[in-house]
Every structure is written in structure tokens, then in C-alpha cells.
Amino acid sequence: MSSQRVAVVTGGNRGIGLEVSRQLAAKGLKVVLTARDGDRAKQAAAGLQGDVVPFALDVTDPQAPARLLELGVVDVLVNNAGVFIDRDYGGLNLPMEVLRDTLEVNLIGPWQLAEAVAPGMRQRGYGRIVNVSSGLGPMSEMSGGDPAYRVSKSSLNALTRIFADELRGTNVLVNAVCPGWVQTDMGGPRAPVPVTQGADTIVWLATLPDGGPTGSFFRDRRQIPW
Ligand code: NAP
């Protein structure tokens, strides 16, 4: 039996997800690089070295959990795919379709995928789930603006605590991470953090040793408040 760990990365075709895929493959994991567009997944996977397999996966697709399970064993799930589509709004004028679209990608997608892979991880006694959150998510810093994005990431943080608690003692470690303000399409041209650094803590959490932390929130490999 192969001892090579299998990692699924969502939104792996560009930005932080692409870099996480690159770093995990360089560490010797088999990476299933997923993207909502199958051709983009293929193109991105072809540009990486190591054991990288492209896979079409829209995290909002109700069939996504079943499709993920077709892969067989999943040891690591990186819930990275995300949208930030409410920059022009406040909580008082947010169109509800923007809220729904945001929650579908940033909360319900990660939830349904984690729910799909957790039973197998628990059964095999190994799993790492990394939820890519944001500095706009913590309740300790909650303020106005970007309301759908903030609520989605705050909820993703809550999801992290719930899953970590329900899986405690099973060697399935579930954590959230703020990558910083990262130089990607989402981060924009003024972002100070290179994508290699933005991916680092995610990869660290995805490859934690047994007995590592669970149910916590990290930035730059250090725990931060919720
Ligand atoms: P990005 O460059 O905009 O990339 C977003 C990725 O998510 C793309 O691959 C995109 O695919 C994918 N995606 C969007 N909707 C999807 C869906 N329905 N199904 C599957 N994939 C979907 O953003 P990024 O900066 O790399 O962000 C990655 C994660 O980090 C996000 O969760 C984001 O909230 C978080 N984050 C980023 C920053 C930052 O400063 N960049 C800061 C804090 C947190 P397409 O190419 O098909 O659109």
C-alpha cells in the first residue's frame, strides 16, 4: 500500500491555491488540483512538478461531495476556493443574491466537502482539513464594510471549531488560516505578501504531525484570536 498522502486543493488553478498545490507536490504529496473549469485545472497541473492530478470541481455544485469521493482516499483537504464580490456594499445595502453567492462558495462549499471527506479520514485515523479564512473574519476585529465576505469567513471560522470539536481525538486536525494580504487577483496590486509566503502556513497546517493543533486559527504559523 502506498504511504503517499493525497491532498485535494480547491481553487487550485491560480493564486494561493496554485501555490499551495506547488508546495504540497514539492513535499511529495499527491495533489489533486481542482478548479471549477476542468481545462484550467489541466493547464495549471501541467505547469507544476511532482504528482499533480487535475480535477474539475465547482465547490458550489451539490454533486461536488460525491465527485470528490470518486477520488477514493483523501488525506488532506484544503478549502481554498473563495470569492470576494461585495467590496462595493455595506451591510445596510447588500443585495441578498451577493450574500447567497458568497456563502455558497466561501461557506457551504467548504462545509459540504469537509462533511464528505471527514468520515473516511476518521475511519483511517488520519486527516488534515485547512479552511482558508481571512483577517476580515475574526469577531474580535469585526467592523462595517465587506459584509458578505466578513460573514462568510467568520462562519468558516465557526465551522472550523465545530468540525475540530466533533473530530477531536481521531487524528483529524481541522484548522483555519489567514494567509495575510497576498499578491493575487483577489489581493490586488497593493498587496504586500508574496504568494509563496501566503501559502506557507496553509501547507504547514496541511502537513501537521500527529498530535498537532486542532480547532485553532493561524497566521504566519502563529495562533491568532478568533
Ligand atoms: P483568487 O486569486 O481570486 O483565486 C480564487 C480561486 O477560487 C480561483 O481559483 C477561483 O477559480 C476559485 N473559485 C472561485 N469560485 C469557485 C467555485 N465555485 N468553485 C471552485 N473554485 C472557485 O484568490 P486568492 O487570493 O488566491 O484567494 C484564495 C483564498 O484565500 C480565498 O479563500 C480567499 O478568500 C483567501 N484570502 C485571500 C487573501 C488575499 O489577500 N489574496 C486574503 C485573505 C484570504 P476561477 O479561476 O475559476 O475563478
Distance 123 CA to ligand 1 centre (A): 30
pLDDT of 3 > 90? The answer is no
Catalytic residue among 149, 163, 217, 218: 149
The C-alpha cell at 45 is 497541473
- The model's pLDDT over 161-211, given as tens digits with 9 standing for 90+, comes to 999 999 999 999 999 999 999 999 999 999 999 999 999 999 999 999 999
Q: Which residue has a Cα nearest atom 4 of ligand 1?
A: 15
> Which whole number is the average pLDDT over 117-143?
97
Please give the model's pTM, rounded to 2 decimal places: 0.98
Q: Which residue has a Cα nearest atom 29 of ligand 1?
A: 80
pLDDT value of position 210: 98
pLDDT of 154 > 60? The answer is yes
Q: Domain spans of the chain? A: 6-223
* 149 annotated active-site: yes
Length of the chain: 226
Quote the strand ranges of 2-103, DSSP E.
6-9, 30-35, 52-56, 76-79
SS (H, E, C) 163-185: HHHHCCCCCEEEEEECCCCECCC
Question: What residues contact residue 88 under an 8 Å CB cut-off, 6+ apart?
Answer: none
Strand, coil or helix: what is 2? coil
The C-alpha cell at 49 is 512538478
Which CATH architecture group holds 6-223?
3-Layer(aba) Sandwich (3.40)
Average pLDDT, the chain: 97
Distance 4 CA to ligand 1 centre (A): 27
User: How far apart, in whole angstroms, are the C-alpha atoms of residue 176 and residue 202?
Assistant: 9
Distance 82 CA to ligand 1 centre (A): 4
Q: Report strand pairing: 30-35 vs 127-132.
A: unpaired
Question: Is the CA virtual torsion 170, 125, 53, 113 positive or negative?
Answer: negative
pLDDT value of position 88: 92
pLDDT of 1 > 80? The answer is no
- The model's pLDDT over 71-95, given as tens digits with 9 standing for 90+, comes to 999 999 999 999 999 999 999 999 9
pLDDT value of position 2: 60
Cross-strand partners of 31: 7, 52
Stretch (H or E) spanning 223:
strand 222-223
